[in-house]
Every structure is written in structure tokens, then in C-alpha cells.
Homo-oligomer: A and B are copies of this chain.
């Protein structure tokens, strides 16, 4: 048996293996990038980060990989406005949600433990088995009127912060 002298298996890589996916060099890199991300990168950003680890990766592969991982339930796709899909690792049991600042598109995470239980109950009531959920709250920063920040209409969200 040949031991690969590589850095430890990332969490996502492990999940890939458990799901019986063929682990190519590219997938390993993408898995690592995903494991290390604590924000909500879009494909282009994942690609950029992956390139810093290995230059032999194409965007097409990143697209194919996130799609595959989403189908396997390893990743979840998010839409925070702005046209691109964002991704984050599925966190079984310990869900978190997103509050999006409508004025600047910034995303704040928050938890609400009772919530998932509540949603499971709702799904059940409707005759469904809970698979996953998505909760996005849109809000506007209270008071603290900072100069230079327009509070008028909703900011068009094209390429906002993670």
C-alpha cells in the first residue's frame, strides 16, 4: 500500500470519499478550499482560491464539482441576490441563517436553535420529510445614521461582500 505524503484529508474530502466519489487532485483542492472557507464564496471566488493552491484547475471543473457536491448534499447553494450562486458546507443539525443588509449586501450569520425543530414540525405536518432549509432575513441597520451611507432605496446587489 502506498502512503500519500499529503496534508491531512480535509473535512469535505472525507465526505466525498464517504460518498464514493473519485478523488482527483482538483477535487481534493476544491474540497480543501471549501473546508477552509468560513464565508459564502461564489464559483469565481472558489476558483480564485483554488488557483492559489494548484494552477491546473479550470472554472468548468469548479462548476462541475460544486454541482456534484450539492447533489450529494455536501454543499448547499445560497442566493443572496447578485446573480451568482454562493456555496457553503452543509452543517447537519446545527443550522445557521443569514441576515442581509439591504443597503450594502453584507451578510451576517445568526443562529436560532428552536428554529430547525420548528421547521421539521412544519414539514411533518405537511407530510414531508425535512431535507434542508434556507432562511434569509433582509434588514436595514437601525439608527446610527452613518454619513455617506444612502438609506434610500435598496441597493442593487451586484457583487457584494461575503
For A133, the chain B residues whose CB sits under 8 A away are: 135-138
Cβ contacts A112-134/B at 8 Å (1 or 0 each): 10010011001110111111111
B131–A122 touching, CB < 8 Å: no
What distance in Å separates the Cβ of A156 from its nearest Cβ neighbour in chain B? 8
A139–B123 touching, CB < 8 Å: yes
Within 8 A of B (CB), among A131-154: 131-142, 144, 153-154
B128–A140 touching, CB < 8 Å: yes
Number of copies of this kind of chain in the complex: 2
A71–B138 touching, CB < 8 Å: no
A110–B129 touching, CB < 8 Å: no
| Bound CA–CA A108/B128 (angstroms) | 11
**A39 near B: Cβ within 8 Å?**
no
Most chain B beta carbons < 10 A, residue from A128, A130, A141, A154? A128
A interface with B by C-beta (< 8 Å):
71-73, 77, 79, 81, 99, 101-102, 108, 110, 112, 115, 118-119, 122-124, 126-142, 144, 153-154, 156
For A71, the chain B residues whose CB sits under 8 A away are: 153-154, 156
| Bound CA–CA A48/B145 (angstroms) | 44
What distance in Å separates the Cβ of A24 from its nearest Cβ neighbour in chain B? 21
A128–B122 touching, CB < 8 Å: no
For A108, the chain B residues whose CB sits under 8 A away are: 126
Q: For A139, give its contact among B72, B129, B141 (CB under 8 Å).
A: B129
What distance in Å separates the Cβ of A55 from its nearest Cβ neighbour in chain B? 30
| Bound CA–CA A115/B110 (angstroms) | 16
